[in-house]
Amino acid sequence: MYNINDMKKTVESFIQLVRSIYKEDFIALHRPVFEGNEKAYLSDCIDSNFVSSVGEQVAEFEKKIAEFTGSKYAIATVNGTSALHVATELSGVNQGDEVLTQALTFIATCNAISYKNANPVFIDVDKDTMGMSPVALLDFLENHAEKHNGTTINIKTKKRISACIPMHTFGHPCRIEQIASICNEWDIPLIEDCAESLGSYVGNKHTGNFGDMAIFSFNGNKLVTTGGGGMIITNNSEIARLAKHVTTTAKVPHAYEFIHDQVGYNYRMPNINAALGCAQMEQIEKFLKSKRNLAYTWKQFFESHNIDFVEECDGYKANFWLNAIILDSKKSRDEFLEETNKNDVMTRPIWKLMSSLQMFKHCQNDGLVNSKWLVDRVVNIPSSVPDNILNNRKL
């Protein structure tokens, strides 16, 4: 058990270090940086009147994300949740189905499943990646599911398992190659929730290229922000065509008639948001580099204070979107949260498990041993791109 006086001292020197890196009075977990062409591109939108759902910046931003992630197609949406909603729909998730996902995730993942009137089934995570465990996934399928006429059925509930949505927690890639091969074997469509993992790789492959499609978020607290925004990426031309179609009101091109051939969504990203995104993408390499240096600084500090800092797994490259530490007990965690927040240094516990929220309490889970362990111990620490330039040290 961590001694409380030790903890007080540790937090004191942590706060000192934090304040040597960030000059703001209140230090946020993740604030945006606008040091590039943001204002110029926004002005162009206003001067040209193209501020809304039509405009060149949307296509430009999509192109930039496709290029950066190495994905064939990218379709911009109004936020990450809407991208997840449409991805779930395009995977063929229907009313009453089940979708395998993590209990340790942000609410958007499970909300999107619920919008299709389907239920999440919660699979445990690995302790080191904090993302879906392929061992737990395979164990669940082998013990609770069977293949039936080309689909996978949950033996207990008799429901169809129609998708799997793992999430790359805080930008640390989960074991997605193993998950992809299990999904492939069981004929389960795979959607990667990459909302937090822009700039994170497994080997040389960007996250989001391992399944049928993936989504990103450009909310204000993400690595790259458009104010609010999202993106679907895929390497499948038919999925790409459908994704563009249903997110843009399912309008059939015509010189002047309004023809819509199905119920679609107005999930279009406005041009002004895309303009912001274009300016942000010009700086992404700088953001990633400086966040890596920051992670190295945190790692050194916490290692010297005998606190676990969440690092990259071998062969994986994290974007270090939100840095995380693992305290030795809930008591030390609460102590750390209390002392830092009291001093205007924002730190946060990880999310409550989705399986503990009243909307999802009834959903099946596999026991969630690692998820429960992590929930009591993980704390996010300030992770914004620092305003002073850190040295070029490597993690």
Ligand X SMILES: *Cc1c(COP(=O)(O)O)cnc(C)c1O
Residue 230 lies near ligand X (rule: CB under 6 A): yes
Q: Give least dist CB 27 to ligand X, A.
A: 20
Residue 340 lies near ligand X (rule: CB under 6 A): no
Among 71, 219, 290, 319, contact with ligand X (rule: CB under 6 A): 219
What residues does 378 pair with on adjacent strands? Answer: 326
Of all residues in this chain, which one has the CB nearest to ligand X in the complex? 80
Residue 102 lies near ligand X (rule: CB under 6 A): no
Residue 108 lies near ligand X (rule: CB under 6 A): yes
Among 217, 225, 293, 380, contact with ligand X (rule: CB under 6 A): 217
Distance CA 190, CA 198 (A): 18
User: Is the Cβ–Cβ distance between 380 and 302 less than 8 Å?
Assistant: no
Q: CA-based angle 78:81:84, to the nearest 5?
A: 105
Nearer Cβ to ligand X (219/234): 219
* Furthest CA-CA distance within the chain: 72
Other Cβ atoms within 10 Å of 260 Cβ, number: 12
Contacts of 148 (CB under 8 A, 6+ apart): none
Distance CA 128, CA 315 (A): 13
Count of positions on this chain that bind ligand X (CB under 6 A) = 14
Residue 129 lies near ligand X (rule: CB under 6 A): no
Q: CA-based angle 25:30:33, to the nearest 5?
A: 85
Q: Give least dist CB 182 to ligand X, A.
A: 21
Nearer Cβ to ligand X (10/270): 270
Residue 109 lies near ligand X (rule: CB under 6 A): yes
Interhelix angle 80-90/107-115, rounded to 10 degrees, is 40
CA distances from 88 to 152, 153, 193, 252, 348 (A): 16, 18, 11, 22, 29
Among 10, 57, 81, 88, contact with ligand X (rule: CB under 6 A): 81
User: Is the Cβ–Cβ distance between 234 and 72 less than 8 Å?
Assistant: yes
Q: Give least dist CB 135 to ligand X, A.
A: 22
Residue 193 lies near ligand X (rule: CB under 6 A): yes
Q: Give least dist CB 62 to ligand X, A.
A: 16
CA distances from 174 to 129, 186, 201, 296 (A): 5, 19, 10, 21
Residue 80 lies near ligand X (rule: CB under 6 A): yes
Residue 267 lies near ligand X (rule: CB under 6 A): no
Nearer Cβ to ligand X (7/108): 108
Among 18, 86, 103, 195, contact with ligand X (rule: CB under 6 A): 195
Q: What is the binding site for ligand X (CB under 6 A)?
A: 79-81, 105-106, 108-109, 167, 193, 195-196, 217, 219, 230
